[in-house]
Every structure is written in structure tokens, then in C-alpha cells.
Structure 1
Amino acid sequence: MKSLKRFLPIVIFFIGCLGFSQTAEEQKMIEKGKKMQDSMLKTPMYKELMRINDQEEANKKEKKANEKITVKPKVSTSYSNPKLENYPFGSLEVNLMVIPFGMENPIKIGTMSKSGDINFDFPKEHPKLSKDDKESESSKLWYTIFSKCSNGSEMVAEKDNIFSFDTGGLSLWTSDNHYVGVIFTVSDEKLMSWVEDPAYMEPILGSYFELIYVDKPYQYKGNCNTARMMEEGEDDAKIDYTYNLNLKAGFNFIEYKIENIHKTDPNIMASFPDKVSVTSVEGIPNCKWIGKYF
């Protein structure tokens, strides 16, 4: 259809140019051309072609208009900005707390926005603790990081056994000290049930995250393992851990990535991870943040 529209102006232009000629023969050609043009424009075939062409042009314009209306904005799959979906406490002032040393020594690590955004604000110093808390085995680096290993207490030299602790769960507390929820950090929501109850639930391949504190920077690359007792008549199962840690002084997130699963008869005992990589996270984990409320 476009070629037809383009052809007619060319014919008309050509005829117009010929109009400047003065010879009688050329004048006859001009008149003949005009009659041909008029004849073409009046034919039913030309009218039908133009109707079809106009309809096609209208359809194209309508399609473009619909595309502008129906194009959906890109949805980011990144979870680097931590947020709880369907957050129910928008009318309350809620703090993000950890309680590694009991209710007497809570540590505030951030706040919740009205819309469910998690605003981390880690304290520069840990709370004042008793001598017993500071010097206990559970406050030593080996226990915080390598307690899963069969030789964990031997993996850190005594001079490097700096003060540290695993913060435990990320808890939601109202400003008037009511415990209203806990936050899980996982790569896949299907991993939640196992994180809550690893003794009875089945794991999947994926990652979960923990928050720890170390008094000084610490780096480590290496491996360790432990054994898990199986049913009578079966050899113990070996669980391997591969570490790649670069911890800064203060609070750090650690990723535990389940690389392989030892399958069992679920009627006897739950399956369990037997190959796990343990890696320090730079900043805040890029994961799913899931709230469980009370």
C-alpha cells in the first residue's frame, strides 16, 4: 500500500514538470497523464486498496497505543534493600533487637519503618557485660564460627580467640518492650521450615544467614568436618564445611550455603546437609527477609 501512495505523487510531480514544456505534443502527453490519474483515482480497485491501507495504518496506531498502556514496569528481583512484606505493625514503634546474653543485655541493631523496611543501625560498641559473659567459651571466636567442626576448639590459636558472639535470631520488639516477631533470612522461602526445625524437616539446596559479632578483624580460608551418627548398622555420615571469611570488626552477616544433602528415610530421620560453604557477606545479604509474628 505504501508503494502505491508513493507512486502517485511521483506521477503527479512528473506531470507537473512536463507542464512547463511548450510543445503541443508534450501538452497532449500532460492531458493524457491527467486523465490517466483521474481514472486511477476513481476505480473501485484503487478505492478498496486505499481503504485497506487506511485500516492497516489505523490498526498499527492502535497497537502502539495499547503497547504504551499495557507495558509493565520491570520488577526488581533484588533483595538488597531488606523489607518485610505484609508487615502488620505499621502503627507501632518497633525496634530490631538481638539478645545473645539474655534479656538483661538486649542489643538494638536497627528499627522498622511503617511500611516494613528494615533500617539497620549497628552499635559501635557491644553492651557492658559481666566478666563471666566476656570470658566464657561461648564468647570466644572458635565457638562463634567453628563450633560445628569436630576439632573447632583447635582451629583458632589462643591469641586469636578474640571476643565474639553469635547474635541469635533477629527479633522485633515494640518500644514498650513487647516481643512481637522474628525475622528469617533465607535465599528461598522453602528453606524456612528446615531452618526452624532441622531435626524433623527436610532441607533444600539454598542459603541461610546468621549475624555474628567479632571484636577485631579476622580472615580465614580452610575446611573442617564433623560426623553425624546414623542408625544402628550404618556408618556415621561426614559433614564437610568450607570456609572463606573476611570479617571486619563489629557485626557481620555470614552465609551458610547448602551445597549437597544427605538423603535419608524420612520415616526414620530427616535428611541433612552434608556439604556446606560458609562465607562472610559484604554488607547486608541479598536475600529474602521473612517475618514471623506473634
Structure 2
Amino acid sequence: MKTLKKIILLLILIMGFSSYAQTPEQQKMIEKAERMRDSIMNTPEIKAIMKQAGEMEKNKKTSQKVKSISSSTKTIDKYWHNTMASKNNNKLENWKNGTADLVFSYSYDSRKDQLNYVKVGVIKSDGTIELHPTNAVPILQPLNNFKNNNAFYDIHNPDSYHYNNGDAGFKLNSYLLVYQNDQKIGTLTIGNSVKVTRNLLIPGDLYFGDEGYILSWVYVDKPCAVNANENWKGDLSNTGTPLIVETNVVYNLSFKTGWNLVETEVIGTHHFPDAPEEDRSRFKKHEHSIIASIPKDATYFFRAVFND
């Protein structure tokens, strides 16, 4: 490379002299230098150096291009980030966390800075999930306060709710916490879609149109019911550019005393392919209903608490 630098310097000097008026003696010197340049540039050594320099420049550009492409396409999939799932059964694939408790949280103790909860199941050391909620939930809120306690926020007019035994104690969670040695290590959701089981827990993603269902656990202290059927039209944009859509939300929930299982299903999609990613779909219908047991096609999704 030192030789290459000398050649470049020689070329600069030659071009510099050529740009000024020359005496005959100077012209002869320049012609001699040019012949020397041509002789040097045609030697095998210089040709090899120039070829190497060209290849180095080509490799540099290719490296920059590959780096640019990989950095722009390497994005974290928020739905699968820190997430593992079961596969046609109730066993988490690649579970390596040992035995852990599944708990249902019902209140927050600010003095101890901790959640209060009851145990409802376990994840065994091999990843098998066993759910058997039997414990009573000691702290409940009245069902007729459902509009303030509902995790879905999908009814726009609170007057759409109608209650039977509205003073009944009620608590709903669409997830179970996973605890190990009194420390939360993640959450467990149940449904048939990794997207739906995350979207319906995140206020900003609640209105997405990814279809599927999520299950919620509900505890009540006496028989009660809540019903609603709201047809609504309005703006559901997250980015400021209006997205006017029509939605229908149906609640048909009749609870028995103790533990109940609710299925919330997303049905139908409004598509906006040219909108920003966070506005590319909106749901057409949410349907909330009581089911007797976990469906056979349900998948269990464990989301680790770290790096969320």
C-alpha cells in the first residue's frame, strides 16, 4: 500500500505541473515522468496492488450493504419475545425453569409492595401445566362496578352493561402469574393465538383485528350475570390519522358461585394495509361468553417477566 501511495503522489505532481505553462525543458521532464508512470503502472506488482485495492473497496461496500440490510430487518417480534408455548397439549416446549406456581392475583398491598394472590395450579419441572382452582378469593369488587374493573375496555358506553345480582363480589383476570420462590417470573395466558393473547392485555393493542380467542378466569361469591350488546362507529386510530370503523361488542356472562371460565373471541377484521403498522387492522366484533372447560385447541403461552 506504501507503493500505491507513492504512485498516487507522483500522479498528483504530474497533473499539477501539466496545468501550468511549461518551458521545453520542463515539458521534457513531464514526458519522462509520464513514461515512468506508465512503466510503473504496467508492472505485475502494481497491477496486483491495484487489483487488491479494488477488491478491498468492493468488499467494504458489500459489507456495508449487508450490515445495512441486516440491521434494518432484524426486528424483535413482540408477540414471541421471551415467549414459549405448548404444542397441542398442556406442556410448555423447552421449559427449563423447574417447578413453579400458577397464581391468581386479586389485590395489591402497598405497605408490603406486593400482590396478594391465591394459588390455582402448577407448572411441573417438565413443563406440564396443571390447573385446579379451588381456593376462594378473599377480596372482591361488586359486579355492578364492572365498567371500572373490566380489563378489556371495549364498551364505549357504560350504560350498555346490564346486571343481575350486581352486588355480587367479582374478580376477573385474563392471565395467571407464574411465581417461583415468592418471585414473579412471568405470566401465563391461554387461547388459540399468540397475537390475541397479547393484544387483549395491552390497551394500545386492544382494538387490533387479529382473530382468535383468549380465556379469562373469574371468581364470584354468588350467582350473577352481566350482559351487553353495543354497536359502535367511530375513530380507533393509534397514530392520529382517523380510522373510522364499526364494531360490535357482546357480553353474555352468567356466573355460578366460585370459579368460572370466560372466552373472549375476536371475530372479523377491518384491514388498512397502507396505514402504519399499528393501524393496519381493527376488530369487527368481540364476543364474551361462558365456557365449561378449556378447549382442546387451546395453547398455553408463557411470557417471561424479564426484558418485556
* TM-score of the pair, normalised by structure 1: 0.58
Matched, 1:247 2:255: yes
Report what 1:3 is aligned to.
none
Which amino acid in structure 2 is aligned with residue 249 of structure 1?
A: T
- Cα deviations across residues 103-125 of structure 1 (Å, max 9, x unaligned)? 34222111122221222221342
| Residues 261 and 272, structure 1, Cα contact 8 Å, conserved in 2 | yes
Number of aligned residues: 208
Match among 298, 302, 305 for residue 291 of structure 1:
302
Query: In 1, are the aligned partners of 2:163 and 2:225 still within 8 Å (CA)?
Result: no
Q: How far apart are residue 95 of structure 1 and its match?
A: 0.6
For 2:185 and 2:129, how far apart are their aligned partners in 1?
Answer: 15
**Which one of the candidate residues 158, 163, 169 is aligned to 2:169?**
163
Q: Distance in 2 between matches of 1:141 and 1:235?
A: 28
| Structure 1 residues 99-248: aligned runs within 5 Å | 99-102=105-108, 103-127=114-138, 129=139, 134=140, 140-141=145-146, 143-144=148-149, 148-153=154-159, 155-157=161-163, 159-174=165-180, 176-192=181-197, 194-195=199-200, 197=202, 199=204, 203-219=209-225, 223-230=229-236, 236-248=244-256
- What is the aligned partner in structure 2 of residue 266 from structure 1? 275
Whether contact under 8 Å (2:231, 2:248) holds in the other structure is: yes
Per-residue displacement from partner, 1:208-255 (whole Å, max 9, x unpaired)?
Answer: 222222222235665224455256785743321123334222222211
The one-letter code of the counterpart of 2:133 is F
> SS of the counterpart of 1:189?
coil
State how far apart, in whole Å, the 2-side matches of 1:84 and 1:220 are.
34
Structure 2 CA distance, aligned partners of 1:197 and 1:210?
15
* One-letter amino acid of the structure 1 residue matched with residue 157 of structure 2: N
TM-score for both structures, normalised by structure 2: 0.56
Q: 1:278 — aligned with what?
A: 288
Task: Report the CA distance shift for 1:230/1:183 in structure 2 as closer, same or farther (over 3 A).
Answer: closer
The 8 Å contact of residues 190 and 204 in structure 1, kept in 2 or not, is answered as yes
Report the counterpart of residue 44 of structure 1 in structure 2: none
**What RMSD over aligned residues (CA atoms) do the two structures have, in Å?**
3.4
Deviation track 1:92-111 (CA, whole Å, cap 9, x = no partner) reads x3110122312342221111
User: Which structure has the highest strand share of the two?
Assistant: 2
Structure of higher CA gyration radius:
1
Q: Per-residue deviation at 1:259?
A: 1.0
Unaligned 5+ segments in structure 2 are: 1-85, 109-113
Checking the alignment, whether the CA contact within 8 Å between 2:163 and 2:227 is kept in structure 1 is no
Show the counterpart of 2:90. 82
Distance 2:210 2:144 in 1: 31
Say whether the 8 Å CA contact 1:141–1:214 is kept in structure 2: no
Alpha-carbon contact 1:141-1:162 (below 8 Å) kept: no
**2: CA distance between counterparts of 1:95 and 1:154?**
37
SS in 2 for 1:292: strand
| 5+ long unaligned stretches in structure 1 | 1-76
Shift of 1:275: 1.0
Asked if the contact 2:209/2:270 (under 8 Å) is kept, the reply is no
Q: Percent identity over the alignment?
A: 20
